[in-house]
Chains A and B, each alone.
Chain A
Amino acid sequence: MNYTHFPVISVMGLFLGAFLVEVFGSKNKYIRNTIVLLITTCAAGLMLYLVKPVFIDGQIISYWMGNWEPVEGYAIGIGYEIDALGMFFVILTVLTIWLAAVYSIKYMEKDSHLGHYYTLFLMLSGSVLGLVCTGDIFNMFVMIEIMTFAAVALTAFRNKKGAHLEAAFKYLVVGCVGSGFTLAGIVLLYMQCHTLNMAQLASILHGNLTPVSVLALALMFTGFGVKSFIVPFHAPAADAYMSAPTSISMVFSGIVNKAGVYGMIRLLFVVFRVMDISSVQIMVVLFGVVTMFIGVTMALAQHDFKRLLAFHSISQIGYVITAVGICSMKGVVSGLFHAANHTLFKGLLFLCAGAVLYSTGTADLDKLGGLSKKMPKTTICFLIGAFSISGLPPFNGFASKWMIYQSLYDKAVTTGNFFYIFALVCAVVVSVMTLASFIKVTQAVFFGQTPAALKETHEVPFLMRLPMWIMSLLCVGCGIFYRFTGNNLLLPAMKSTFNITSYIDKMMGEGTAAASGIENITIHAETGFEYWEPVIWLVLFVTVLLAVFIVTLIGRRDRGKVLSTKEEADGKYATFFSGEKSSHSHVAGSDLFWGFKRNWKGYFNVMQKFHSGNVNDYSLMAVCCCALVIVFTYIVLL
């Protein structure tokens, strides 16, 4: 079978589906759901068919639109090219799209204008898929712009509340500033190389960086940074994740910011190949460390379920950027692994938040509580997600975080640079704070007493639980069968990140890479998968869990009962007061870490100013950061 057509059919199919839904599906919900499910399933199926040729046979899929093949060594048409790195992100994309489509059917049921919703959803899916498939840098820009529009429109989809419109506007302004940087970078590259094909750009730029192409690098790095929401650009992300419908929040954190990460990897490792310069590595790692630290500390201060998850999402992207920035083989493997795991566990957590929002109608941590009796299945899924993101063995978050620590340590030893030790300490501390923050959420939402208003809460329907179960299974599976994932998916993806000769040769003809002096480097067979024995940890984990369970069982009997309105007003049954009336303070479940917050008052006051909510400030931060990156790259690379 000629499978080279599959990527373009999938991307076009999703865009075609967007039109079909708008034309035929705006009235009848059965037609609409059929179109959406059919299109997303077909796209997922076609793309997953390519797993065997790309990962197992080691092929690279290339496709020239309209059969415009290169003439005399110059690419003149738009080319699609999927190597193992692209395929890795393709798998994440189609998985997230399909699960989000299934989840949307029940979750969005009560909203109006669902035709528009699915149109935008399919456009968002198609653009992200196109972005990771394409081999043409301007095509990438167009896909980024479609992605931004669809994402902004979906953020404002539930526009009854002003806050959602506000979030969409901020996202649009900051996103467009970022796209502007990307476009300026792309045209400057075109000015230097007279081509837009990434394979050809890589072969031309190898070894001759001019000042203009360094400027292009800095602009495009900032542009992709805005799309992946690393720290100076993260403020609109928290608003958008919070305001969008939850099925879309999952798509945002699962693939929209991964698209930015993919762009960065493609840019730094393949097109410019500047990652072997130690100062660039330090810059990228610094971005990552700052992102993960600020993300997690801001998450500790949140009172909204989805906003809290949004800040955690930003923090986890920091891990990915840090690991990729290390640029050792183990570092890139762990970064890609964490990117995949982040898609799984963060998607799961957002789906659980959506389930809570669907059943109770609120996402305010102060108003929730004791849902474990009402929604036991959601609670189990949430706990799996929370264990994964906090990095508890044997879940997948632990596997990738452990590898990130190891690669940071190795990097510190080999370079003797103190900065990497600092980064390592930060990574561990952030992981601890993530755990602390999820203890708070679990306590505030699923345990403790149930407020009287939530008496009639029910478990969510099966169609919403199905994506949650699939995500949970994948979370556990990726953690326990890490060696399988590592050898079959991560190693090929890492190899194609470092060795780009076949990427260039496939697109531009044999010998192009060799002519411009690009050589393959040897990849060591061992990349650090032998890091732990999951079975022993599993036994330990089960033992500890049993101990906690038994202690809980022999504890008080009235735990989890529904409070009457009078008792709730009394305040003595509030979480952590165990029936003794408090005289001085009132600590709710969501305020578990008020002491910590009080101690860090100075830091949080600064952060408060940093997240002022003013769109001018956010765009000013983006512009200033771009200026700093330009100055830094000029100092380092010229």
Chain B
Amino acid sequence: MIFNYITSVLLIVLGLYTVCAKRNLIKIVLGLGITDYGINMLIVSIGYNYGGTAPIYAQDLFNVGNSTAFVDPVPQALTLTSIVISACVDAMALALVIMVNKRYKSIDANEIRRLKG
């Protein structure tokens, strides 16, 4: 289980590093995506019980044994919401990058800085 947390923190840090250090706008968008994946992994890991079953109330239908070892269903619902939201982020950010590229003829963050000071 501890590996899940380590991996998710590594993904978040990697994503934030990409956002902060890479000059290419596409890479910045990818960095945002990686950060979101890291957070999603964190959420799923929090809800997981080792050896737990699917969170379906099925004790009477199937004999699945110990029904207390459910996996927590709430984080899975949160992850779905979060995945939808991060898909929206990526779509919108990429659309903006395309438009920026049309106007500036560049996707280098160093050249896209008319608004400053």
Contact = CB atoms under 8 A, between A and B. Distances in A.
A177 interface: yes
B74 A163 contact: no
A153 B91 CA distance: 12
Contacts of A180: 12, 32, 35-36, 39
Interface of A is mostly: helix
Nearest to A183: B39
Nearest to B100: A165
B65 interface: no
Interface in B75-117: 75, 78, 81-82, 85, 88-89, 92-93, 96-97, 99-100, 103-104, 109-110, 112-117
Given A187-B78, A623-B20, A177 B35 contact: yes
Interface residues of A, number: 46
B19 interface: yes
Interface of B is mostly: helix
Interface in B20-49: 20-23, 25, 28, 32, 35-36, 39, 42-43, 46
Given A162-B104, A172-B89, A191-B46, A177 B19 contact: yes
B19 A173 contact: yes
A8 to B, nearest CB: 18
A616 B21 contact: yes
Contacts of A163: 114-115
B14 interface: no
A173 B15 CA distance: 12
A176 interface: yes
Interface stretch (A40-48, A554-562, A607-615): A607-615
Given A177-B16, A180-B39, A184-B39, A162 B100 contact: yes
Contact of A612 (B32, B92, B116): B116
B12 A190 contact: no
B46 A166 contact: no
A590 B27 CA distance: 40
B94 to A, nearest CB: 10
A619 interface: yes
Contacts of A242: 115
B115 A173 contact: no
B75 A173 contact: no
Interface in A109-149: 138, 142, 145, 149
Interface string A148-164: 01001100100101110
Interface string A191-220: 100101000000000000000000000000
Contact of A616 (B32, B74, B109): B109
A612 B16 CA distance: 19
Contacts of A613: 113-117
A619 B99 CA distance: 21
A299 to B, nearest CB: 12
Which of B32, B82, B109, B117 counts the most chain A CB atoms within 10 A?
A: B117
A105 to B, nearest CB: 27
Nearest to B82: A183
A167 B115 contact: yes
B75 A145 contact: no
A184 B42 contact: yes
Contacts of B113: 166, 612-614
Nearest to B46: A191
Contacts of A161: 103
Given A187-B46, A187-B78, A242-B115, A614 B96 contact: no
Interface string A583-623: 00000000000000000000000011001111110011001
A169 interface: yes
A117 to B, nearest CB: 16
A70 to B, nearest CB: 14
B93 A611 contact: no
B19 A169 contact: no
Contact of A138 (B12, B78, B96, B109): B78
Contacts of A142: 81, 85
Contacts of B97: 169
A187 B114 contact: no
A176 B32 contact: yes
A191 B46 CA distance: 6
A159 B99 contact: yes
Contacts of A616: 19-23, 28, 109
A81 interface: no
Which of A165, A172, A196, A620 counts the most chain B CB atoms within 10 A?
A: A165
B74 A173 contact: no
Given A138-B81, A176-B93, A184-B39, 5 more contacts: A156-B96, A166-B115, A194-B72, A243-B115, A613-B117
User: What are the nearest 6 A-B pairs in CB distance?
Assistant: A613-B116, A613-B113, A162-B103, A620-B20, A239-B115, A191-B46
17 contacts: A142-B85, A145-B88, A165-B100, A169-B100, A173-B19, A180-B12, A183-B39, A184-B39, A187-B42, A187-B46, A243-B115, A608-B117, A612-B116, A613-B113, A615-B28, A615-B112, A616-B22
